[in-house]
Structure formats: C-alpha cells, structure tokens
Amino acid sequence: MDLLTFLKMPQQEISNLILKYLVDKKVSRQYKNLIAATLKHVCEINDIVLNWKKIKKFVNSEIRPAMKQMEGIEDIRMNKYREYQISVTRELKLHF
C-alpha cells in the first residue's frame, strides 16, 4: 500500500491497520516501538489524529522476548546439568 492510499483511509481503518501490523509483526518490542513512532510521525505530519495511547498498549501487552530468553536460559542450564550428571555417571562406571 502506498502512502497516499494509506492517508486517504478513514481514521478507524488506519488505527486498525496499524494495530494489526504491529501485533502480527514478529520482531523485538524495541523495533515495534520504532515502527510505531515512525507511523505516529507520518500521521501527525498529515493531520491524522489517532489514539496512540491505545495503540501503544496493544503493542506493549505482548510477551517480551527477554522473558522468552530467560526461559531458554533455564532450559540450557538444566540441559548442561543433565549432561554433567551423565558424564559423571559414565566416568564412575568406567572406574568400577
């Protein structure tokens, strides 16, 4: 969609389109904030008034990638611990 078509849409459609785009986008929260800031700037320059507070709440309500990474770190730690246990068990079996 080109910018002119985007700007000619009704405000409600623009708001829904931005929300859908930002929620469906599989990128980091910081990058979504950058995209939202860019879209906000375009709308303000072209005198389109949207409820940006509502839009930001939808974008920021998702599970943060950092939380997913923390879960991944715990899984890695547990896997390394299991590998260590297996290696120690194998060494003990070799000695006896």
Distance CA 13, CA 10 (A): 5
Which residues span the domain enclosing 72?
Answer: 63-96
Sort residue 2 into left (φ over 0), alpha (ψ -120 to 50) or beta. Answer: beta
Q: Say whether both 54 and 10 belong to one domain.
A: yes
Q: What pLDDT, on a 0 to 100 scale, did the predictor assign at position 63?
A: 53
What's the mean pLDDT in 21-37?
Answer: 87
5 and 42 both lie in a single domain: yes
pTM beyond cutoff 0.75: no
Which of 38, 40, 39, 33 is closest to 58 using CA atoms? 33
- Count: domains in the chain: 2
- Are 7 and 41 found together in one domain? yes
Are 58 and 68 in the same domain?
no
My answer on whether 32 and 52 are in the same domain is yes
CA 30 to CA 44: how far, in whole Å? 21
**Are 14 and 49 in a shared domain?**
yes
15 vs 84, residue with greater confidence: 15
Do 50 and 69 sit in the same domain of this protein? no
- Are 16 and 46 members of one domain? yes
| Residue 67 pLDDT grade (very low, low, confident, very high; cuts 50, 70, 90) | low
Q: Are residues 47 and 86 both part of a single domain?
A: no
